[in-house]
Amino acid sequence: MQMNNRRPLVAGNWKMNGNLALIKQIEETFSKTDISHVDVVVCPPFPYLGGFSDNDFALGGQNISHFESGAHTGETAVSMLKEMNCQYVILGHSERRADNYESNELVANKVGLALKHKLTPLFCVGEPEDIRDNGQFFDFIAEQLNAVIKEVGIAAFNDIVIAYEPIWAIGTGKTASPEQAQEVHAFIRQHLAKQDSNIANQCVILYGGSVKGSNAVELFSQPDVDGGLIGGASLNPEDFLSICLAAKR
Ligand code: 13P
C-alpha cells in the first residue's frame, strides 16, 4: 500500500433537523474532549450557522445555489456560506438529487463554484438499492465521479472530499458492511488513480449511511475509509462524539 497523509474527517449532516438548543449541547460536549486527531465538521441548516461560537470543529453548509448571486428567491449563495465561516459544503447529497432533481451536471457545476470560492466540497456519490441489487453500482458511481472530473479536472480532487453514501443505507439502519464500504472506496480511489495516482492516494473518502457509535470503529478501520458523513447520529452530541473518537489515529 502507498503511504499517505490523509487526515481523518467526520462530518455531521443535520439535514432539516436540530435547533438552537442542540448547538449549545454539541458545543458543551465537544469542549470537554480532545478531538485533535480528526477534522470534525458540523453542517446545520442555514439559519443556525450564525449560532455557533469559536469551536474545535469546522462548519459546513448543506447546499449552495448554482448561481453566484441575484434574483433567486430561497437560494443561498456560496459567498454567504464563506461569510458565515463555513469551510465546507455538502454537494450532491442523494436527498437533494431526489427532492430537487439535481443532475450529475448540476452537482458538478456547484462543485466548481464551491472550489472557486475556496469552500471544500463534501461531494456525495452512491447508488440506490436496485442498482446495488443488479450489480451495476461501480458504473453508476463512476458516472457520478466522471461528471465532476469533467467539470473541474482531476487536480481539483486535491481540494475535494468524497463521501460514499449508498442510498439504501441512509436513515435505514441498514449499514453497508465494512467490506462493502471498503470495496467501493477502493474502487473510487482506483477510478481517480487512472488519471492521477498521487491525487487518488491523498483524496479523503468518507462513508455515510447509518453510521453509529457501535459500528464506526469497524467501518473507519478499513484502509480506504477515511471517516464518515453522519446523519441521524450527529443529532445526539454524545453519539456524534463517540463516532469522531472512532476515527483513525
Ligand atoms: P444517516 O446517518 O441518518 O443514515 O444519514 C446519512 C447521511 O445521509 C449523511 O449525509
Tens digit of pLDDT per residue, the chain (249 long)?
A: 567 889 999 999 999 999 999 999 999 999 999 999 999 999 999 999 999 997 889 999 999 999 999 999 999 999 999 999 999 999 999 999 999 999 999 999 999 999 999 999 999 999 999 999 999 999 999 999 999 999 999 999 999 999 999 999 999 989 999 999 999 999 999 999 999 999 999 999 999 999 999 999 999 999 999 999 999 999 999 999 999 999 999
The reply to whether ligand 1 has any atom less than 6 angstroms from the CB of 13 is: yes
The reply to whether ligand 1 has any atom less than 6 angstroms from the CB of 215 is: no
Domain ranges (residues) in the chain: 9-246
- For the record, the C-alpha cell of 68 comes out as 453566484
Q: How far is CA 140 from CA 84, 107, 110, 127, 131, in A?
A: 35, 15, 20, 7, 8
Amino acid identity of residue 87, one-letter, is Q
CA dist 61 and 50 (Å) reads 12
For ligand 1, pick from 167, 175, 211, 234 the residue to mutate: most ligand atoms within 8 Å of CB: 211
**pTM of the predicted model, to two decimals?**
0.97
- For the record, the C-alpha cell of 85 comes out as 465561516
Q: Looking at the DSSP assignment, which residues form a beta bridge with residue 41?
A: 11, 58
Q: How far is CA 93 from CA 18, 39, 108, 209, 237, in A?
A: 18, 20, 12, 12, 22
Residue 191 among the catalytic residues: no
Helix, strand or coil, per DSSP, at residue 36: coil
CA dist 210 and 110 (Å) reads 26
Architecture of domain 9-246: Alpha-Beta Barrel (3.20)
